[in-house]
Chain A
Amino acid sequence: MRLSAENLAWSARGVPIVREVSLQVGAGETLGLIGPNGSGKSTLLRLLSGVLRPEAGEVWLGDTPLARMSRRHVAQLLAVVEQQAETAERITVQDAVELGRTPWLSALRPWSAEDDAAVAEALAEVEMSGFAGRDWATLSGGERQRVHIARALAQRPRILLLDEPTNHLDIHHQLSILRLVADLPVTTVLALHDLNQAMGCDRLGVMHHGRLVALGRPDQVLTTALLRDVFGVRATFLTDPADGERIIRFHAVS
């Protein structure tokens, strides 16, 4: 399903956080959002998910404006993995992932075998199948992050928004989550910090001071000039002799 945004703007206490952002993500495409701290990536994701209502502009899911859909309908199409969503409740991993089925259930549509299957599949996809009975409080940060991703997958969405999904993850799980996300047949937007990982996305959007300053294929976007102007680093590009892929090395600007 296509996700598009038109001239989105949002500010907090008069300080503009996101301004005039327009973008389109095609069905099945993976768009990476990069940018320095405070550049508006998380806020843009919250606007795209409808959790925040834009002050100006509009978000579209397919051909329908998000603002005109019910929350429930939105949640059936779009799932969100936030940064650091925490709880003090004594819940198990199974409980947390089952929450993902919320938009599909109602008083007349109770829990069924289909929901069990969705939960089991989601747990398997993030390699947490053996953890279903574990207490939330006993999980490490990375394990919690994977449970959050499983919860979003259990929603069976057609659009997936992830805010720094590789935070807290060890390198093995960083790579496996990124591969999982890239292979999913859903439209994905994810905020990322690691620019080398961002190279794996279909397209990249660069946020700077609340604006989308570049949008395009990774090799077109990640130029020495942009890395200097936006991130304030000097970059050199190396080639991996194993497969010919480019990697970026960063140096402080002296």
Chain B
Amino acid sequence: MPQIPAVRPLARLLGRVALHGAWISVALAAAVLAGVCIGETAIPLSTVWQTLANKLLGAAYPLDRIDQGIVWNYRLTRAIVAACCGAGLAVSGVILQSLLRNALADPYLLGISAGASTGAVLVTVAGLGAGAVSLSLGAFGGALAAFLLVALLARASGGGIGPRAAGQIVLAGIAGSQLFNALTAFIITRSASAEQARGIMFWLLGNLSGARWDNVGLAVPVALGVTLLCLWHARALDAFTFGTDSATALGVPVRRVQTLLIGCASLATAVMVSIVGSIGFVGLVVPHAARFIVGVRHVRLVPAAALMGAMFLIAADVISRIAVKGQVLPIGVVTALVGAPVFALILVRRKPAR
């Protein structure tokens, strides 16, 4: 009995998924192309097309080798990594804001950014691993260590389940972040030269210039994975609207969903931070902007946040490259300069619930 009437809604759902998937892909591709074309030296769209045809379809358009190299090895990888980071951070922000029911939650809440900076500083300044460990790996390790510490602290303080759980996780995150920021400051003041400190500072604010194809190979599956996982749990995330008790009563295995989604969001964030540094504001602002446009239902919110995050970071990267002649701004500066006023606007426009 339940199977037959379910067929038509299922077919309709698949049709909708295909339709929205198609236009989202087109929009993303267009944004990436724009990111490749625009720069201090503009590259015509035809060159980009021809490079793609040469590389992907084995065509043999005669192109300047330098142009082709810039498009394929620098601009394209940079735009794709920017899109993935934007999408991954935005979706992670959606997850944390929904599960913790805190409008100010962002992917760095659980100490990931602070931990990554400590890891990076340990590798570059204190010389941990004697050159065998890259800055990215150090940052990733630090991010994971911080996240695990915060998760353990949250658990020990009763942050698993119940009405106070979300608050405990937030507090544990603040404690963890403070600790790792202090560690970073300690290491820098003990042993870093001014030059090293400046380099670290620059890296921490986000830097896409190192994005290459191996980063793409990591960033794409991670961003896609966290987005699809979150989409799969869209209804469960909706069920948290009235809190964890209500989600439990609606049949959601709360602890399992929280552990899985917060764990994956943190892992994805740690990967992104290790590739590009901690780019702020995307994970905080984009989910709010997406809610403003498509509403709070996660089945729409998750893809919207992913798409907007991707486009926002591609745009921020373009701005960071062309805003100051002859100099690349850290992308975190651009996201914060755009993000902070937008966020202020949202705060002012957002009517309180009571």
| A-chain residues with CB within 8 Å of residue B259 when the two chains form the complex | none
Binary per-residue interface labels of chain A (97-135) against chain B in the complex, 1 for a CB within 8 Å, 0 otherwise: 001101101011111111000000000000000000000
State whether the Cβ of A15 lies closer than 8 Å to any Cβ in chain B: no
Describe B's contact surface by its main secondary structure. helix
| B-chain residues with CB within 8 Å of residue A50 when the two chains form the complex | 248
Contact A49–B6 (Cβ < 8 Å): no
| A-chain residues with CB within 8 Å of residue B155 when the two chains form the complex | none
State whether the Cβ of A74 lies closer than 8 Å to any Cβ in chain B: yes
Binary per-residue interface labels of chain B (1-39) against chain A in the complex, 1 for a CB within 8 Å, 0 otherwise: 010011011101100000000000000000000000000
For residue B243, which residue of chain A has the nearest CB? A85
* Residue among A82, A103, A107 making CB contact with B251, cutoff 8 Å: A103
Stretch in A19-27, A33-41, A88-96 touching the partner: A88-96
Contact B239–A107 (Cβ < 8 Å): no
| B-chain residues with CB within 8 Å of residue A174 when the two chains form the complex | none
For residue B242, which residue of chain A has the nearest CB? A85
> What is the minimal beta-carbon distance from A72 to any residue of chain B, in angstroms?
4
User: In the assembly, what is the distance between CA of A110 and CA of B299, in Å?
Assistant: 12
State whether the Cβ of B246 lies closer than 8 Å to any Cβ in chain A: yes
User: In the assembly, what is the distance between CA of A8 and CA of B238, in Å?
Assistant: 31
Contact A95–B297 (Cβ < 8 Å): yes
Contact A51–B249 (Cβ < 8 Å): yes
Contact B249–A89 (Cβ < 8 Å): no
A90-B296 in contact given A102-B235, A136-B353 (Cβ < 8 Å): yes
State whether the Cβ of B241 lies closer than 8 Å to any Cβ in chain A: yes
State whether the Cβ of B61 lies closer than 8 Å to any Cβ in chain A: no
Contact A99–B250 (Cβ < 8 Å): yes
Contact B245–A51 (Cβ < 8 Å): yes
Interface size class, chain A: 35 or more
User: In the assembly, what is the distance between CA of A87 and CA of B103, in Å?
Assistant: 11
Contact A75–B251 (Cβ < 8 Å): yes
State whether the Cβ of B186 lies closer than 8 Å to any Cβ in chain A: no
State whether the Cβ of A225 lies closer than 8 Å to any Cβ in chain B: no
| B-chain residues with CB within 8 Å of residue A49 when the two chains form the complex | 249
Contact B232–A112 (Cβ < 8 Å): no
| B-chain residues with CB within 8 Å of residue A137 when the two chains form the complex | 351-354
Contact B5–A114 (Cβ < 8 Å): yes
| A-chain residues with CB within 8 Å of residue B245 when the two chains form the complex | 46, 51, 80, 82, 85
State whether the Cβ of B212 lies closer than 8 Å to any Cβ in chain A: no
B interface residues, how many (CB within 8 angstroms): 35
A110-B10 in contact given A75-B251, A91-B296, A102-B250 (Cβ < 8 Å): yes
Contact A79–B241 (Cβ < 8 Å): no
> What is the minimal beta-carbon distance from B215 to any residue of chain A, in angstroms?
31
Within 8 A of A (CB), among B209-262: 232, 235-236, 238-239, 241-243, 245-246, 248-254
Contact B235–A96 (Cβ < 8 Å): no
Contact A87–B249 (Cβ < 8 Å): no
> What is the minimal beta-carbon distance from A182 to any residue of chain B, in angstroms?
22
> What is the minimal beta-carbon distance from B103 to any residue of chain A, in angstroms?
7
State whether the Cβ of A86 lies closer than 8 Å to any Cβ in chain B: yes
User: In the assembly, what is the distance between CA of A112 and CA of B5, in Å?
Assistant: 8
Binary per-residue interface labels of chain B (99-138) against chain A in the complex, 1 for a CB within 8 Å, 0 otherwise: 0010100000000000000000000000000000000000
User: In the assembly, what is the distance between CA of A73 and CA of B251, in Å?
Assistant: 7
State whether the Cβ of B69 lies closer than 8 Å to any Cβ in chain A: no
* Residue among A76, A87, A103, A109 making CB contact with B6, cutoff 8 Å: A109
| A-chain residues with CB within 8 Å of residue B351 when the two chains form the complex | 137
> What is the minimal beta-carbon distance from B331 to any residue of chain A, in angstroms?
30
| B-chain residues with CB within 8 Å of residue A51 when the two chains form the complex | 245, 248-249
For residue A155, which residue of chain B has the nearest CB? B250
| A-chain residues with CB within 8 Å of residue B235 when the two chains form the complex | 102, 105
Contact B10–A87 (Cβ < 8 Å): no
State whether the Cβ of B167 lies closer than 8 Å to any Cβ in chain A: no
Contact A82–B249 (Cβ < 8 Å): yes
| B-chain residues with CB within 8 Å of residue A96 when the two chains form the complex | 241-242
Contact A87–B297 (Cβ < 8 Å): no
State whether the Cβ of A71 lies closer than 8 Å to any Cβ in chain B: yes
> What is the minimal beta-carbon distance from A111 to any residue of chain B, in angstroms?
6
| B-chain residues with CB within 8 Å of residue A102 when the two chains form the complex | 235-236, 238-239, 250-252
For residue A104, which residue of chain B has the nearest CB? B251
| B-chain residues with CB within 8 Å of residue A85 when the two chains form the complex | 242-243, 245-246
> What is the minimal beta-carbon distance from B51 to any residue of chain A, in angstroms?
39
> What is the minimal beta-carbon distance from A27 to any residue of chain B, in angstroms?
21
User: In the assembly, what is the distance between CA of A110 and CA of B8, in Å?
Assistant: 10
Contact B249–A80 (Cβ < 8 Å): yes
Contact B241–A74 (Cβ < 8 Å): no
Contact A112–B249 (Cβ < 8 Å): no
State whether the Cβ of B199 lies closer than 8 Å to any Cβ in chain A: no
> What is the minimal beta-carbon distance from A137 to any residue of chain B, in angstroms?
5
B interface residue numbers (CB < 8 A to A): 2, 5-6, 8-10, 12-13, 101, 103, 232, 235-236, 238-239, 241-243, 245-246, 248-254, 291, 295-297, 351-354
Other 12 A-B pairs with CB < 8 A, given A112-B8, A113-B9: A51-B248, A71-B251, A71-B252, A86-B354, A88-B352, A89-B241, A89-B296, A95-B297, A102-B235, A102-B252, A110-B6, A114-B5
